[in-house]
Structure 1
Amino acid sequence: MQGQIRSMTGFGKAYLKTETYKLTVIIRSVNGKGLDISMKLPRELVIYERELRNLIKKFVYRGQVSVNVSLELIKVKPKLRIEDLGEVVDQIVFSTKKLGLNISDDLVLNLALRFYHPEPEEENLFTTESFKEMFLGTFQVALKDFLKSRVEEGENLRKDIENNLSQLEKLLEIVQNRAQVLIENAKERLLNKAKQLLQEIETNKVVTQELKFLVEKLDINEEIQRLKSHIELFKKELQKGSPIGKKLEFITQEMLREANTMGNKLPDLFPLNIEMKTAIDKIRQQVANVE
């Protein structure tokens, strides 16, 4: 059973609207060598930053993740508090008696209502358990959407990687089938050129040994076998699922190293060698986005 491949690119969004506020959570990410989380939170919600970071770290291992939370307050008429209004009434009654004034209860109440300005409970609202529960719930909805997008993009990456890997295997098979003929042709050209330059080549043991060494260097069978091994290891790791990005990057580097060595040892591989390196480079670019 193959594991899920996750892309480092993702996007998630969630909304929450109540009678007193509107909340929007946006989470997005791009490629990164490690995990880097940046947060833009309203002043009222900074107290939840650590919890939000911990939630992300449970599910995300690589990528530059940015979180943007916006909070819009909806102005509502503050609720009348009888206790607070009573205090204002007491102050008015005390002041009028001290001044020797005698006013009716209706006038006292009217004055109290005029001077009483209840403060909205915005500050306390954002520290309540009910708000915390709704806020974290909204954040988790955005996080789930974000993770889903990374999985979807990751599976698309898997298909592209597998297609390019299949192309590389086909090219490598062609190289293996043609290698011996190409090596023999290169050997023959090398020997003919040497004979033209050195008429006494057959009696010159030093030159003969040097030629033998150069001819042996034309052999690319070891590189072919190592590249095959790298491909098999790559396929095995790909089945495991994320987080595997860093390991796949390393294997891809080794694959490219073998392809370069083949091209350097046997120039006759051109343009097959170019096609192989192009396929590997495509894989490298795709792997760079795998978590």
Structure 2
Amino acid sequence: MIQSMTGYGKAVVEYGEKKINVEVKSLNSKTLDLSTRIAPIYREKEMQIRQMVSQALTRGKVDFSIWIEKDTVVDATPVNGALVAGYYKQIKEIIQKNNIPEPADWLATLMRMPDVLTKTETETLTDEEWEAATKAINEALGKLTEFRMQEGAALQRKFSEKIDNIAALLESIEPFEKARVEKIRSRIIDGLKSIPEVEYDKNRLEQELIYYIEKLDISEEKQRLANHLKYFRETMEETQGVGKKLGFIAQEMGREINTTGSKSNNAEMQNIVVKMKDELEQIKEQVLNAL
């Protein structure tokens, strides 16, 4: 089944006082083009994260983000009370000793002193937290894959519709094709008859007519195009990534349609070829988004 390269997935896992958020977005690309935004505590795991993403998403322009939300009360920077008291005592002694007026706002003065609000603890990634982060990553990747499958199903329905349209147009060529051969023959013979002084060998004329008509014959092109349509349908049902393969088949279909148009030598047939080209162009545009 077809998967789209367009997708979105997000997961949130709680760990202690934290919320681990993971968001993954993807668009179409010829290869895997991965960009990451990783919270500092998880940067040591960047290579492992990249490996997890590349295994789940083989192609596409992928934006991966993992960040942490913390309880604002728990995460508040602690005030060093002992240091504040020490600063107050020292400043008070200096004021009294030098007869300096006391500050109008003691709190503002003390809070500006060095290291009063300095946060000294460092975060260490534990195995338990990494396990929770891994769960969030896998959940987000799983949701993105589900999104891709839903989009892929819509693509497959669109492709099937266009392939059916091309097949129907191909069948509609047949009546014009048969009439065209007789029309070409009559036009050449009538042209010769209009020049009475010209003598010609009727056997040779018949041979030349056969040669000319064979050059305009599109039986092989029709058969190859029908085979390509069948192969396209079969490829859509394959389980692995089929986007590139479908693109190659669409190119081959285009060659047969173009050759049919160049050989048609008939207004009605050329109109049908134009319609087939239009249907194929819509397939080519959408196949770029197939995984």
The answer, yes or no, to whether TM exceeds 0.5 is yes
In structure 2, the partner of 1:274 is 274
Aligned partner of 1:163: which letter? Answer: E
Q: Unpaired runs of 5+ in structure 2?
A: 83-114
- 1:70 and 2:55 matched: no
> SS of the residue aligned with 1:202?
coil
> SS of the residue aligned with 1:240?
coil
Structure (1/2) with the larger helix percentage: 1
1:58 to 46, 55, 60: 55
**Distance change >3 Å, CA 122–CA 218, structure 1 → 2:** same
**Distance change >3 Å, CA 53–CA 198, structure 1 → 2:** farther
| CA displacement, residues 259-283 of structure 1 (integer Å, 9 cap, x when unaligned) | 1100001131121111111111222
Aligned partner of 1:289: which letter? Answer: N
C-alpha displacement at 1:284, in angstroms? 1.7
In structure 2, the partner of 1:170 is 168
In structure 1, the partner of 2:220 is 222
In structure 2, the partner of 1:185 is 183
TM value normalised by structure 2 = 0.76
Answer yes or no: is the 8 Å Cα contact 1:201–1:208 preserved in 2.
no
Q: Unpaired runs of 5+ in structure 1?
A: 86-114
Answer yes or no: is the 8 Å Cα contact 1:176–1:224 preserved in 2.
no
- 1:39 and 2:36 matched: yes
Q: Percent identity?
A: 30
Counterpart Cα distance in 2 of 1:193 and 1:8 = 58
Bigger drift between 184-193 and 171-180 goes to: 184-193
> SS of the residue aligned with 1:200?
coil
C-alpha displacement at 1:48, in angstroms? 1.9
Counterpart Cα distance in 1 of 2:175 and 2:250 = 23
| CA displacement, residues 123-178 of structure 1 (integer Å, 9 cap, x when unaligned) | 21xx2101101111111111111000000000011111111111111111111343
C-alpha displacement at 1:252, in angstroms? 0.6
| CA displacement, residues 60-79 of structure 1 (integer Å, 9 cap, x when unaligned) | 2221111122333444279x
TM value normalised by structure 1 = 0.76
In structure 2, the partner of 1:123 is 123
**Distance change >3 Å, CA 164–CA 181, structure 1 → 2:** same
In structure 2, the partner of 1:288 is 288
CA RMSD in angstroms, aligned pairs only: 3.1
Aligned partner of 1:232: which letter? Answer: K
Answer yes or no: is the 8 Å Cα contact 1:19–1:74 preserved in 2.
no
